[in-house]
Amino acid sequence: RLSKDPVHMSRIIEEVIMLTSCAVDKAGRPLRKPSVKLVTALPPTLPIIEADAHRCTQMLYNLVTNALKFTEKGEVKVTAKADDSKKTLMIAVSDSGIGIAPQSRELIFLPFEQEDQSER
């Protein structure tokens, strides 16, 4: 069950960046390679939203760690933009990694699916 709490997404973004910047994989290797920058591009303020803070953190953490896992050089960037008139907040995670094969793009949105990287 999702909770509905006032959520400061700017704080969650900062927390996830801090956690992922020093995260390690199952073998104890840093997720962020030395040739990868982890950056944010955020406006000075973001609105407080009504959401489940735990699920927001989990979702962002999963996106950032996945981007770090498949980025060998370049950057992983978290951006956010609020649209007050539409009452929306858009958060994006982009990277300079290997990308997702066109034939896998629909599959990754199914529950418990991920792209098979073994053939790349």
**Residue the block writes with tokens 């995670």:** 93
Give the model confidence (pLDDT) of 5-53 as tens digits.
999 999 999 999 999 999 999 999 999 999 999 999 999 999 999 999 9
Give the model confidence (pLDDT) of 64-90 as tens digits.
999 999 999 999 999 999 999 999 999
Contact 72, 36 (CB under 8 A): yes
Confidence (pTM): 0.86
Within 13 Å and on the Cβ side, how many CA atoms surround 106? Answer: 1
What is the C-alpha separation between 81 and 43, in angstroms, rounded? Answer: 7
